[in-house]
Amino acid sequence: FFAGEVLDIDGDTGGYNLQAAWSTGALAGTSMVAATHTRRAFTPLR
């Protein structure tokens, strides 16, 4: 999952795009939660 300044998004006004950082951070967080709920729990081999 990637979010914020890692995405290297340029805004029309230049500089840092804080709204994109916050929005992609929220999306990445909710996507991680959804991914953990859809996968089976890890069970080690015996």
Each domain of the chain, given as residue ranges in start order, spans 4-38
Separation CA 38–CA 17 (nearest Å): 32
Q: Which residue has the tokens 């795009």?
A: 17
For residue 4, what pLDDT is reported? 64
Residue 19: its pLDDT value, please?
78
Please report how many Cα atoms fall inside a 13 Å half-sphere around the Cα of residue 3, on the Cβ side: 15
pTM for the model: 0.57
pLDDT at position 16 is 65
Answer whether 4's CB lies under 8 Å from 25's CB. Answer: yes
Q: Which residue in the block uniquely carries the two structure tokens 């709204």?
A: 19
Low-confidence ranges of the chain (pLDDT < 50): none
Note whether 3 and 24 are within 8 A (CB): yes
pLDDT confidence of residue 7: 67
pLDDT for residue 39: 62
Structure tokens at 33: 């939660």
